[in-house]
Chain A
Amino acid sequence: MGIRFTRTVLGFALLAGVYVREASADVAAAPRPGEPSPWLFFFFSLVAFALLAAIAFVGTRRLEILPRGLQNLVELAMENLYNIPEMVMGPRGREYASFIGTYFLCIVVMNLMGLIPGMKPGTASLSITLGFGTVAIVAVQYYGFRAHGIKYLLHFLGPVPAMAFLILPIELISELVRPISLSMRLYGNISGEEKVLEAFATQVGSWGPLVASAVMAPLELLTSVLQALVFSILVSVYIALATEEDESERNPSVEAMDR
């Protein structure tokens, strides 16, 4: 099974996870009148995906050596997206750059859509962020098994075999909490932004809308990009931890040939 098949399956898993949880939980919790329907977040997340796909498609048509126009922008973005996992794990981060880069682009576009009047950020829905987080941790396990085989399970036992029975539950719990912490961080930041902007724009006196658009919205620009970056860096850190090579796994005879 090639890498493209795996990525497609992971992508569908993300969408399926979002759809299933959204359909079951969010709609069941009936919102009060005046609150936006939860399907709005789902719709705008699809708008964000379509926008990214359109930019990618148009920007990579008729590639030229000296980039101009949209291809220039896409190349600029790609160069920095490669830097994120490389910053965390060095040159071996390049093979995870497409996965991490997808997360960064999706999250930053969905966050920034919250600042445009008339649009809602997709990440302000707990379902969507939980989908992102769960798929990230499932992917970390996949990368771990791919790098180490079945011996990846030994990672959960900790460094000292004598303490393994103590460390195993700690490691398992901290691994299972990761999707929750990833999703809650992103959800809390962006939905907090939504609530603050709404409160300033509608409920606070006559200076409210001015403060909202002049003070809070620029602050939210920072938070939107920052949270996308933090999410991506944390997922790279988890992948780096899962796929790091111990000293015992190197092949000394092969490495001696490189000297």
Chain B
Amino acid sequence: MAYVIALAVTAVSATALVASVCALMQGYVIRGAVEGVARQPEAGGRIMITMIIGLALIESLTIYVLILGFSLLKNLPETAQVLSTVKGG
């Protein structure tokens, strides 16, 4: 039972933590990009493409942790099984 709890809590909290840090850092990226466009509107297209690439690269780190979480969650038992174990115990 502790195994199930540990699996679930680890998978979800790791993803949540990494996603929140990723969101903070992506905020910096967007701030830099918007300030750049504010200073020089002609470079807007180029800056936007660079910003998109940077965002996708940062997001990929969150995706790695998400995939780890999915592979952890695959080992969770079915809900019916868990309920029957709890009832029997």
Residues of A within 8 A of B (CB): 87, 181, 184-185, 187-189, 192, 195, 226-227, 229-230, 233-234
Contact = CB atoms under 8 A, between A and B. Distances in A.
B49 interface: yes
Contacts of A189: 63
A188 B56 contact: no
B67 A230 contact: no
B14 interface: no
Interface of B: 49, 52-53, 56-57, 59-60, 63-64, 66-67, 70
B60 A185 contact: yes
Among B52, B53, B63, B64: residue with most chain A CB under 10 A = B63
A184 B59 CA distance: 11
Q: Is the interface of B mostly helix, strand, loop or mixed?
A: helix
B70 to A, nearest CB: 8
B64 A230 contact: no
A230 B56 contact: yes
B53 A233 contact: yes
A71 to B, nearest CB: 27
B56 A227 contact: yes
Given A188-B63, A188-B64, 4 more contacts: A181-B64, A184-B64, A185-B63, A230-B52
A189 B56 CA distance: 10
A234 B57 CA distance: 9
Contacts of A229: 52
A48 B49 CA distance: 27
A243 B60 CA distance: 26
